Amino acid sequence: MNGTPSRDILPRKLLMAGIGASVVLVLAAGAAFYYASRYSQAERKAASDGAVTVTIAGKSCEPNALTVPAGKTVFRIVNTSDRAVEWEILDGVMVLEERENIAPGFTQNLTATLEPGNYQITCGLLSNPRGTLHVTAAAAGTQTTAQPSMKAFIGAMAEYKVYLAGETDGFVTATNDLAAAIKAGDLAKARALYEPARIAYAHLLPIAGQISDLDSAIDARADYFEKKEQDPAFGGLHRIEYGLFAENSLEGLAPVADKLTANAQTLADRIHDLRITPAQMISGAAAAMDRFASAGAGLDEDRYAHTDLASFDASLAGVQKVTDLIAPVAAKTHSALIERIGDDLVVLQKTLGKYHRADGYVPYSTLTEDDKSDLKKQAAALAADLGKLLETLRLS
């Protein structure tokens, strides 16, 4: 009798282990089936919607050359590479449409309304060859979105140009100060001056699409370079941030700082001739919010200095400027939507206020994942409403 329980224990344990393993396998199979079915549904929906699928691999995208008719097209971007990527449609140095932070193995859709012409598309890393996009004339009887008269927005456009010129001058000053501290060998001062330079540039994020070449040189994260932080092409604000806060060193930063100040001055010179439409103002503001909202774990903007909240607050101020200028015209026909955008801004500002202290914002790394998720959801809501404004005003 005393030996019977001991003989039963092992089979019972094996039985329980077998049941547990079976449960795990069933759950895994169920999850696999769920995601496979969702993927299959997405494939069928994309095909039925006439979406154009672009697959981004490590070194290229497939297809590398696209042809679509003028008007509205849905692009389905599939990331099969091993890192987060962005996909853009460019007209020269101007980004017309983009999706950032597409995580490995994930898919995002982008809807673009395009005029006939030849464009370029980015294919993952900044060092990868660009693809081509040829937009043909719309078929007879097909209507594309008409551009409204710019007359009602003349005052808003003129004031925004003045705002941009002033903010760019501030960025030039901030980068010069930062570079001077770096070249003087003052690590503590350089670390203190990084955030003002970053904030000054964040105010300009709504026009990043119009200056994509300079934006890549000034504000690109390490993720978009083949060797990441060790890539020789990695420069600008985030290369300096990496040196100051991750390596705690000024070594090798002097030439990076010189190039940053040169690019800042080039930006200031270019601003005077930059033509910015109301559509670009609104779409740029939406993109600035989406840039923050879509950043996945480990893809934070200021991951070395952890000053993301200060940077986001500055970009939100830039978006606020756009909405303040556009609202008086748009509210005449879309008052409810303008009111909702205003509410979105208030919600974000209130949430940010929870993390502000007398000496500035708390480090982004101290926020819980739920805190970060709430902020991103609120930023996504503002981006979505700005997109609706762009569409309802018939400016896209």
Burial 243-277 (b: 16+ CB within 10 A, else e): bbbeeeebeebeebbebbbebbebbbeebeebebe
Least confident of 20-24, 321-325, 384-388: 20-24
Can you name the residues that pair with 133 across neighbouring β-strands? 66, 119
Q: d(Cα 207, Cα 211) in Å, to the nearest integer? A: 7
Least confident of 44-58, 75-89, 230-244, 245-259: 44-58
What pLDDT does 280 receive? 92
Distances (CA, A) of 11 to 7, 20, 124: 8, 14, 54
Q: Note the residue count of the chain.
A: 396
Q: Which residue has the higher pLDDT, 244 or 211?
A: 244
Based on the domain organization, do 83 and 164 belong to the same domain?
Answer: no
Based on the domain organization, do 212 and 353 belong to the same domain?
Answer: yes
Which of 60, 110, 55, 57 is CA-nearest to residue 88? 110
Q: Which residue has the higher pLDDT, 85 or 252?
A: 252
What total number of domains does the chain contain? 2
- CB neighbours of 209 closer than 8 A, spacing ≥ 6? 94, 95, 96, 98, 215, 280, 283, 284, 287
Q: How does strand 65-69 pair with strand 131-136?
A: parallel
Based on the domain organization, do 174 and 285 belong to the same domain?
Answer: yes
Secondary structure of the chain: what % helix, strand, coil (to 5)? 60, 15, 25
Rg of the chain over CA atoms, in angstroms? 25
Q: What is the pLDDT of residues 341-371, one digit of tens each?
A: 999 999 999 999 999 999 999 999 999 999 9
The amino acid occupying position 381 is A
What pLDDT does 23 receive? 41
What pLDDT does 85 receive? 80
pTM for the whole thing? Answer: 0.70
Domain range for 181 is 151-392
With respect to residue 42, please indicate whether it lies within any of the assigned structural domains. Answer: no
With respect to residue 35, please indicate whether it lies within any of the assigned structural domains. Answer: no
pLDDT range class, residue 395, cuts 50, 70, 90: low
- CB neighbours of 141 closer than 8 A, spacing ≥ 6? none
Q: Which residue has the higher pLDDT, 299 or 56?
A: 56
Q: Which residue has the higher pLDDT, 396 or 276?
A: 276
Based on the domain organization, do 107 and 174 belong to the same domain?
Answer: no
Q: What is the pLDDT of residues 331-348, one digit of tens each?
A: 988 899 999 999 999 999
From 136, 170, 201, the end of a domain falls on 136
What pLDDT does 150 receive? 62
Q: Which residue has the tokens 């003129």?
A: 158
Based on the domain organization, do 75 and 192 belong to the same domain?
Answer: no
What pLDDT does 155 receive? 92
Based on the domain organization, do 188 and 332 belong to the same domain?
Answer: yes
CATH number of the domain to which 76 belongs: 2.60.40.420
**pLDDT surpasses 80 at 272:** yes
Based on the domain organization, do 132 and 155 belong to the same domain?
Answer: no
HSE-up of 205 (CA within 13 Å, CB side)?
Answer: 26
Which of 123, 119, 130 is CA-nearest to residue 70? 119
Q: What sections of 184-209 are H helices per DSSP?
A: 187-202
Based on the domain organization, do 225 and 369 belong to the same domain?
Answer: yes
pLDDT averaged over every residue in the chain: 84
**pLDDT surpasses 90 at 53:** yes
- CB neighbours of 379 closer than 8 A, spacing ≥ 6? 289, 290, 292, 293, 312, 348
Based on the domain organization, do 209 and 108 belong to the same domain?
Answer: no
Query: What are the DSSP E strand ranges found in the chain?
Result: 52-56, 61-62, 65-69, 71-79, 85-91, 94-102, 107-114, 117-121, 131-136, 356-357, 360-361
With respect to residue 19, please indicate whether it lies within any of the assigned structural domains. Answer: no
Q: What is the pLDDT of residues 159-192, one digit of tens each?
A: 999 999 999 999 999 999 999 999 999 999 999 9
For 338, the token pair is 């303008």
Burial 15-27 (b: 16+ CB within 10 A, else e): eeeeeeeeeeeee
What pLDDT does 83 receive? 80
Task: Measure the CA angle with vertex 242, ends 237 and 247; round to 5°.
Answer: 150
Q: Which of 129-138, 159-168, 272-281 has the highest mean pLDDT?
A: 159-168
